[in-house]
Amino acid sequence: MALEARGVTIRFGGVVAVNGLDLDVRQGEIVALIGPNGAGKTTFINCVSGAYVPQSGRVTWKGGDILGLTPNALGQRGVSRTFQNVASLHDLTVLDIVRLGRSLGRGRTERRSLGLFTTRDPLAEELTETLLAPLGLADARHRPIQMLSYGHRKAVDLARAIAAEPELLLLDEPVAGLSSREAHELADVIRGVRERHGCTILMVEHKMDVVNRTCDRIVVMAAGSRIFDGSSDEVQVDPEVRRVYLGEP
Amino acid sequence: MKRAHFIVGVAVAAAVLAVTPFLDRYVAYLVTIVAISSIGALGLNLLTGLCGQISFAQAALMGIGAYTAGNLCNAGLGLFAIPLGGLAAATASVVIGLPALRLRGLYFAIATLAAQFILEYLFKILEPLTHGISGLLIRPPTVLGFAIQDDRAYARLAVALLFLVWSGIGVLRATNLGRSFLVVRENEIVARGMGIDVARTKFWAFLLSGFIAGIAGAMSGIASRLANPEAFSFALSVDYVAMIIVGGQGTLTGPLLGAAFVTLLPEAIQRIGELFNTPSILSALREFAFGMLIILFLIFEPLGLMAVVRKLRLRLTASKPGGKSPAATTEAV
């Protein structure tokens, strides 16, 4: 198993955000983590990406324990992530963000451009066009990030994470704020990334059409626990999922 | 840095260097102090404007540069004393920056304030190195046996150093480290989440900013042939903060405009006073006028002189047929 979580529990005071979660993701798989608001999906992603340290449990990536590692150290181990809320970073252009993302990974295909004092990076420029062209942002490489819409800033955040050439990509609501057409195009980009780089992807997402289009497997969380693990066909008829989402008895 | 900006920088530096041999001594002195202030302001801007770490210890770091360079000059090291003064200040800057790994914003600013006062005190009591209150007299540096002691030569040296620092920061801004500075400035939590090593990024900001402050201090000491505690007091640190606010924090050229403004304004007020035979009145009003101008800037143009320049440029380009849209011209210059 590439990513393995066992008995992960995260509490904030008296609130149990993640409750003894077990979750497996196989190498090269795209898994969607869905569930109602407050289910603990983002908290779990934060735990895997080094932002939170759980009170109990274990998370391993390719057999190595990654709990407690900083995001910087995780980047060097091939783990990269996007954020649910993207910051408006002043004075940085789209290309700046993608170049920075490249420099924070370990550079699986090309390492020469990763130094602290590097200014140019042809691969980052190529990636910017490839990843952002479907959203009409290919010619926006020199546009300041704060001038983009929220949805487009999220797309740039995704490009930054992908530019690090990760082996494990954690996506937190990557298509929030995008139109349906843009969301579908970005879903294709995400699948393309898996095909091109062979990376493993764990994705939190609410839009089920994007989840169905992109993911191999779906894990449903509710109140911090896993209540379902299976295919998109199975999830729609699962009685527990229907109870949590639709309030069916 | 865009090539066009670099070419303009080269042209301006070359023009100033070309005219300095013909300048009046007083004007050469003004060129020297503006260039030195600009170097110091660029150093503080790197730390505060680019990396978001507020510091009130700029004058003390310049003092370390001045005393180090002064002692090394007196020992016969010539112009090598300037980069060595920079190295000494860079070391001190990293030490002062250590609290920044745990403190943020105003809390860190207070820590730098403490560092400023501690260093000022050390300048007074470490007499073997600093000669205490009376200050360290600095012999003019020699190059190939020739002593540099002409005001015009100091002006040329200061402008050349300013150009090197300005273009160096321009290049730094476009590196991965420069981009990391900007993300750390905007939001440390986001920076950490993106995978930026925030501690290492701050370390570089303190090191480079301290080095530049040390160079400014070294040049200041050499040009005035004296390093004394009064010349590197807390008031000077406040002046440097004012320079980057007035000029435009985070921009490349703003600190130069701010340095020129803050350095030349008292001189201008003095001259006007002499012109109208009211030097004592205007001298008394000088500090008041200076303070009022800073307040007016904060109220009406908090983004500094560079924002004024940008607006003027936008107006000019917008009035031309086919001029650039505002969106295309918002980069930091």
Residue-wise pLDDT tens digits, A85-115: 877 788 899 989 988 888 888 765 555 555 7
A91 touching B, CB under 8 A? yes
- B46 occurs within a structural domain: yes
A-chain residues near B171 (CB < 8 A): 119
Q: How far is CA B54 from CA A22, A136, B110, B299, in A?
A: 45, 39, 9, 20
Helices (H) and strands (E) in chain A, counts: 9, 10
A182 touching B, CB under 8 A? no
Report residue B323's pLDDT band, with 50, 70 and 90 as the boundaries.
Answer: low
B264 touching A, CB under 8 A? no
- B249 occurs within a structural domain: no
Sequence-separated contacts (24+) of B139-147 with Cβ below 8 Å: B139/B73, B139/B74, B139/B225, B140/B73, B140/B222, B140/B225, B141/B73, B141/B77, B141/B78, B141/B79, B141/B81, B141/B222, B142/B76, B142/B78, B143/B78, B143/B79
Report residue B283's pLDDT band, with 50, 70 and 90 as the boundaries.
Answer: low
Q: What is the pLDDT of residue B285?
A: 73
B-chain residues near A165 (CB < 8 A): none
B327 and A83 within 8 Å at the Cβ level: the answer is no
Q: What is the pLDDT of residue A40?
A: 94
B-chain residues near A89 (CB < 8 A): 182-183, 186-187, 190
- B286 occurs within a structural domain: no
Residues A115, A162, A79, A224, CA torsion sign: positive
ipTM of the complex: 0.84
A83 touching B, CB under 8 A? yes
A-chain residues near B252 (CB < 8 A): none
- Residue in this structure with the two tokens 């007035």, named with its chain if needed: B246
What residue in A sits closest to B183 (Cα-Cα)? A89
The closest of B222, B217, B239, B230 to B124, measured between CA atoms, is B230
User: Does the domain at residues A3-246 carry the CATH identifier 3.40.50.720?
Assistant: no
**B 184-223 → A contacts, CB under 8 A:** 186-187, 190, 192-197, 204
B325 touching A, CB under 8 A? no
**A 44-73 → B contacts, CB under 8 A:** 49, 51, 70-72
Chain-wide mean pLDDT for chain B? Answer: 89
- Residue in this structure with the two tokens 């004007």, named with its chain if needed: B27
B190 and A89 within 8 Å at the Cβ level: the answer is yes
Dihedral, CA atoms, B38, B39, B42, B47, nearest 10 degrees? -140
A-chain residues near B310 (CB < 8 A): none
- B98 occurs within a structural domain: yes
B180 and A96 within 8 Å at the Cβ level: the answer is no
- B259 occurs within a structural domain: no
Report yes or no: A113 and A124 within 8 Å, Cβ to Cβ: yes
Report residue B293's pLDDT band, with 50, 70 and 90 as the boundaries.
Answer: confident
Q: Could you give the CA distance from residue A49 to residue A40 in angstroms, rounded to a whole number?
A: 14
Amino acid of residue A10: I
Amino acid of residue A50: G
CB nearest to A89's CB, from B172, B175, B186: B186
Question: CB-based contacts of B165: which residues, under 8 Å, 6+ apart?
Answer: B39, B42, B43, B212, B215
B-chain residues near A90 (CB < 8 A): 182, 186, 250
A36 touching B, CB under 8 A? no
Q: Could you give the CA distance from residue A126 to residue A138 in angstroms, rounded to a whole number?
A: 10
Span B139-191, pLDDT tens digits: 999 887 788 888 999 999 999 999 999 999 999 999 999 999 999 999 898 89
Span B78-118, pLDDT tens digits: 999 999 999 999 999 999 998 877 888 889 999 999 999 99
A-chain residues near B175 (CB < 8 A): 116-119
B28 touching A, CB under 8 A? no
Q: What is the pLDDT of residue B333?
A: 46
Does residue B324 surpass a pLDDT of 70? Answer: no
Query: Chain A closest CA to B251's CA: distance in Å?
Result: 9
B182 and A116 within 8 Å at the Cβ level: the answer is no
Domain count, chain B: 1
Question: Domain residues of chain A, as ranges?
Answer: 3-246
**A 115-174 → B contacts, CB under 8 A:** 115-119, 143-144, 147, 160, 164
B101 touching A, CB under 8 A? no
Q: Could you give the CA distance from residue A76 to residue A38 in angstroms, rounded to a whole number?
A: 30
Tell me the count of A-B CB pairs closer than 8 A. 78
A72 and B197 within 8 Å at the Cβ level: the answer is yes
CB nearest to B171's CB, from A89, A100, A119: A119
Span B22-78, pLDDT tens digits: 999 999 999 999 999 999 999 999 999 999 999 999 999 999 999 999 999 999 999
What residue in A sits closest to B198 (Cα-Cα)? A72
- B194 occurs within a structural domain: yes
What residue in A sits closest to B190 (Cα-Cα)? A87
- B267 occurs within a structural domain: no
- B131 occurs within a structural domain: yes
